[in-house]
Chain A
Amino acid sequence: MKKEIDPVLQMRHITKTFGSVTANRDVDLSVYPGEIHALLGENGAGKSTLMNILTGIYRPDGGEIWYKGQKRDIHSPKDAVALGIGMVHQHFRLIPTLTVAENVYLYSGKKSFFLNRDKMEKEIRECSEQYNLQVAPEAYVWQLSVGEQQRVEIIKLLNQGAEVLILDEPSAVLTPQEAQSMFDTLRKMADSGKAVIVISHKMNEVMKNADRITVLKNGRVEDTMPASEADVERLTRGIVGVRTLPEHDKEQPSPEEPAQAGQQPSPEEPAQAGQQPSPEEPAQAGQQISPEEPAQGAQQTSTAMEEEKKHMCGEEIFFMEGVSAQNDRGLPALKKISLSVRAGEIFGIAGVAGNGQRELSEVIAGLRPVTEGRVLLAGKDLSKATVKQHILEGIAFIPEDRLQTGLVPELTFTENIILKSYETDRYSRRGILQKQNMRSDAEEYAGRFDIRHGGLDLPVGLMSGGNQQKLLFAREVSGDPRLITATYPVRGLDIGAAESIRGILREQSRKGAAVIFISEELEEIFAMCDRVGVLCDGELMGIRTIGETDFQEIGRMMSGEREETK
């Protein structure tokens, strides 16, 4: 029935590049009045860029926008508003010291010299009754909860006369109950003939609440479908890509990393494995190479054998027992997480971003307080320990935000390498910095990890992202850490840099470090890790051994389906 109506909005062949990065490539999008249209995709898939083009924040490099049957040029957000296109950004644009009515009025375009408070408030009350957007017009914005602020943003758009409403990850800041009531409101608006576009990366939410779904991947439209035809499998395929099980190349020298592989000839591996044959391991390993899986072919068998070696090469060193923690807003972000990681193991954390990954990594690094449960490293309880104690215990941490948290962009290469060890004897004698040692170590790091820098005395903010990450890794692994937590370590890096980063992680795991590898890319997790745990909404949905699971299963777990353990 919807097909008979003309689309209110069409984006045709939209292309947008930033420098060498293509954010949108030949994107087509049609939105019909009366529908909730979901844009699904990973971070960096181009969802926000596309919407920023629609609202006039960016100009497209190519392509056309048709609105109500006419081709339109949208030069500025003002143009978009005049047409009736409005957006609720992820970070709200409200003025906290003004009231709800004042905030709405500020954008309404119906300005007169005298404020008519009663009229303003009456208009807002009518609007909130019509769409069930409960908010008191006379309240100050700073008094409101995030959910209420979001409602104010929506009222603002309606008051501007928006026909197309765009919401950027509207449920990210809400509790599940709040999110449901928000979607009910959106449905009401759609029923009254408006078009609603929702940017999201939560599959379940989208399948439940949207009418149509468009999946973006790497700036292209990967798939578009009515919500009724969507299922987790199809969406996962769209978001993550074509489902080929990648080689489990953890121990196999791949052609991209000849240097690394050359240093570590494979023959040393069996020797290492042989050194620590603990009695209980063979049984477990035996299960994996048991004849129940011969159908998977030779490659899978060799994978299983890698698994066997791996499992024999270390004891469980890191434990989390029922750990809970809160996010920055004080809401539960981790719910009773229990896991253990072996020395020499690479343990993957899969999941859609924003499901507790950041909080998990910060808890492990000691940056976020544990509200419940225990964190143990080699038998030592670290749940109450300071960040410094975590560092001294040998916990290395590659944070998500490498340039602002992991490094200090304004400081030089040399100054950044001592960030965590500036108090050690090597760099400090009676409080005086040992510049020669700093310099020689910096030179050594640059050589050993092939870090290209314009000069050791230049701010690292000027270096490329790949080299910044290599510098961060060089520093973090320099003290032979016992546990490395790497959060999205190759996000945004080019292939070469990404491969060297993976090489460093593999090398550290061979040396016996336990590695926790947080990633959104399932291919990468399957290629790197021994086991994988899946986070969804702060819960650990389950832990699987790579080689005994596949993308479908992990994808289902990512979307919140709890699989009964085999």
Chain B
Amino acid sequence: MIRNLRFRKRTSVSISRRILTPIIFVLLAFVFCGFLLAAVGSDPFAVYARMMKTVCSYSGLTRSIEAGIPLMLTGLAVSFGYRMNLNNIGADGQYALGSLFCIGFALYGPVMPAPLKILCMFLVSMLGGALAALIAAFPKAKWGVNETILTMMLNYIFLYVMDFLMYGPWKERNQMVAQTRAIREKYWLPDLGDSGINSVLLIVIAIAILLYFFHTRTTWGYEMEVIRQSPRAAQYAGMSVAKATLLVLCASGAIAGLAGFAQVAGIIHRVQANLPNGAGYTGIVIAFLAGLNPIVVLLVGFLFGALQISAVAVQLIGVPSQVAAMIQGTIMLFVVAGEFFNRYELVGRKK
């Protein structure tokens, strides 16, 4: 009888269950999207086959990585904030400001030797992201103002600043497209041999490993974990929650800002209007799916990159490219729903 069934909280979750559950629910999400595709008149099998074919080529692989790199960085940024229960919804805007700082320095900054210039570009893009986050972090730390709303609303501001510069003073001359001119080739980060993969990927991987190490092995990571789990215990232990809030949100913004550096120094070598293209929001999904684990964020970021380029490919057979956004959203919903089964199990009532 249904009345005799109830959900009970699991006391422990096995590793295999923890890995298998999200995979199963991702597959279910694709099945569900298949029905949606069929409903709008496409053949879901043809669409999925086309997507698979696109991704499973070498150029598909490199383009997936390329599309995935900014997503990995925003995913890392968001999960870093969540590691202290801070909802950084503003990775989009931080990415935008980071890219503007980076391109501004690259195009209009002082001339210097290439390695130094690239290092400075790296630093100013972090600075840009951190400043964008600081505007939300300071009121949060000082007065407890809700950072979710602040970071989200700031996105619009930075995206409009970006539009202003792209359509206005920084627009490349004699071009129809709202974008800056490209930076000089000597400031480009090289590709890894002939692979067609840019070396900025190594920087992203290094950051993920550093963050992983930070969370598991350092006293700051420990402090973040205590604050996340029990702010009262943190206070009792003499930790400054306000200071940590300020630093963590700014660091989260800095990581998001690096997505701008990755684009300017590594991938497209310029800035275009609406460059973030929702990467900050996708980063939230990625952070969640990856369970806030920085290493897993890389993997999920790559998969979402693949999803995006394959969605562009299916446009050729007449499917709107928004299908990527649809699948992303569906995956998110399904995996969150699946998480429920990791936490609870269905059992018969005892009495």
Q: A residues bordering B, Cβ < 8 Å?
A: 365, 367, 386-388, 390-391, 397, 399, 401, 404-411, 415, 418-420, 422-423, 427-428, 431-433, 435, 462
The residue in chain B whose Cβ has the minimal distance to the Cβ of A461 is B229
B237 contacts the other chain (CB 8 A): yes
Can you list the 4 inter-chain pairs with the closest CB atoms, starting with the nearest?
Answer: A388-B238, A387-B238, A410-B229, A428-B219
CB <8 Å contact, A415 and B222: yes
Interchain Cβ contacts within 8 Å, total number: 66
Question: Complex formed: what's the CA distance from A410 to B227 in Å?
Answer: 11
Question: Complex formed: what's the CA distance from A390 to B222 in Å?
Answer: 21
Shortest A14–chain B CB gap in Å is 20
Interface residues of B in 198-240 (CB under 8 A from A): 217-223, 225-226, 229-230, 232-233, 235-238
CB <8 Å contact, B236 and A406: yes
CB <8 Å contact, B236 and A387: yes
CB <8 Å contact, B217 and A409: no
Instruction: Point out the residue from B217, B223, B232 that lies within 8 Å of A422, measured CB to CB.
Output: B223
Asked, given contacts A367-B236, A387-B235, A388-B238, whether A404 binds B230 with beta carbons under 8 Å apart, the answer is yes
CB <8 Å contact, B226 and A419: yes
User: Chain A contacts of B229 at CB under 8 A?
Assistant: 408-411
CB <8 Å contact, A433 and B218: yes
CB <8 Å contact, B238 and A433: no
Question: Complex formed: what's the CA distance from A428 to B218 in Å?
Answer: 8
Interface range on chain B: under 10, 10 to 19, 20 to 34, or 35 or more?
10 to 19
Q: List 30 A-B contacts (CB under 8 A).
A: A367-B236, A387-B237, A387-B238, A391-B238, A404-B232, A404-B233, A405-B236, A406-B233, A406-B236, A408-B225, A408-B226, A408-B229, A408-B230, A408-B233, A410-B229, A410-B230, A411-B226, A411-B229, A418-B222, A419-B226, A419-B233, A420-B237, A420-B238, A422-B222, A422-B223, A428-B219, A431-B220, A433-B219, A433-B221, A433-B222
CB <8 Å contact, A365 and B219: no
Shortest B281–chain A CB gap in Å is 28
CB <8 Å contact, A365 and B217: no
CB <8 Å contact, B238 and A431: no
Question: Complex formed: what's the CA distance from A365 to B238 in Å?
Answer: 10
Interface residues of B in 93-137 (CB under 8 A from A): none
User: Chain B contacts of A405 at CB under 8 A?
Assistant: 230, 232-233, 236
Shortest A401–chain B CB gap in Å is 8
Shortest A123–chain B CB gap in Å is 37
User: Chain B contacts of A433 at CB under 8 A?
Assistant: 217-219, 221-222
Asked, given contacts A409-B229, A431-B218, whether A365 binds B223 with beta carbons under 8 Å apart, the answer is no
The residue in chain B whose Cβ has the minimal distance to the Cβ of A419 is B237
CB <8 Å contact, A432 and B217: yes
User: Chain A contacts of B232 at CB under 8 A?
Assistant: 401, 404-405
Shortest A72–chain B CB gap in Å is 22
The residue in chain B whose Cβ has the minimal distance to the Cβ of A418 is B222
Question: Complex formed: what's the CA distance from A386 to B235 in Å?
Answer: 10
User: Chain B contacts of A419 at CB under 8 A?
Assistant: 226, 233, 236-237
Instruction: Point out the residue from B217, B218, B223, B235 that lies within 8 Å of A367, measured CB to CB.
Output: B235
Question: Complex formed: what's the CA distance from A27 to B204 in Å?
Answer: 67
CB <8 Å contact, B218 and A432: yes
CB <8 Å contact, A407 and B235: no
The residue in chain B whose Cβ has the minimal distance to the Cβ of A415 is B222
Question: Complex formed: what's the CA distance from A388 to B235 in Å?
Answer: 9
Shortest B267–chain A CB gap in Å is 33
User: Chain A contacts of B238 at CB under 8 A?
Assistant: 386-388, 390-391, 420
The residue in chain B whose Cβ has the minimal distance to the Cβ of A459 is B229
CB <8 Å contact, A423 and B233: no
Shortest A421–chain B CB gap in Å is 9
Shortest A170–chain B CB gap in Å is 27
Question: Complex formed: what's the CA distance from A435 to B216 in Å?
Answer: 10
Shortest B126–chain A CB gap in Å is 20
Question: Complex formed: what's the CA distance from A411 to B221 in Å?
Answer: 13
User: Chain A contacts of B223 at CB under 8 A?
Assistant: 422
Question: Complex formed: what's the CA distance from A435 to B11 in Å?
Answer: 26
Question: Complex formed: what's the CA distance from A404 to B226 in Å?
Answer: 11
Shortest B291–chain A CB gap in Å is 15
Question: Complex formed: what's the CA distance from A503 to B226 in Å?
Answer: 30
* Residue of A386, A387, A397 with most partner-chain B CB within 10 A: A387
The residue in chain A whose Cβ has the minimal distance to the Cβ of B223 is A422
Shortest A538–chain B CB gap in Å is 22
Question: Complex formed: what's the CA distance from A390 to B237 in Å?
Answer: 10
Question: Complex formed: what's the CA distance from A188 to B147 in Å?
Answer: 48
Further contacts, 6 of them, CB under 8 A, given A409-B229, A410-B229: A365-B236, A388-B238, A390-B238, A401-B232, A415-B225, A462-B11
* Residue of B219, B221, B223, B236 with most partner-chain A CB within 10 A: B236
The residue in chain B whose Cβ has the minimal distance to the Cβ of A420 is B237
Shortest B55–chain A CB gap in Å is 38
The residue in chain A whose Cβ has the minimal distance to the Cβ of B225 is A411
User: Chain A contacts of B220 at CB under 8 A?
Assistant: 431
Shortest A386–chain B CB gap in Å is 7
Asked, given contacts A409-B229, A410-B229, A411-B225, whether A423 binds B219 with beta carbons under 8 Å apart, the answer is yes
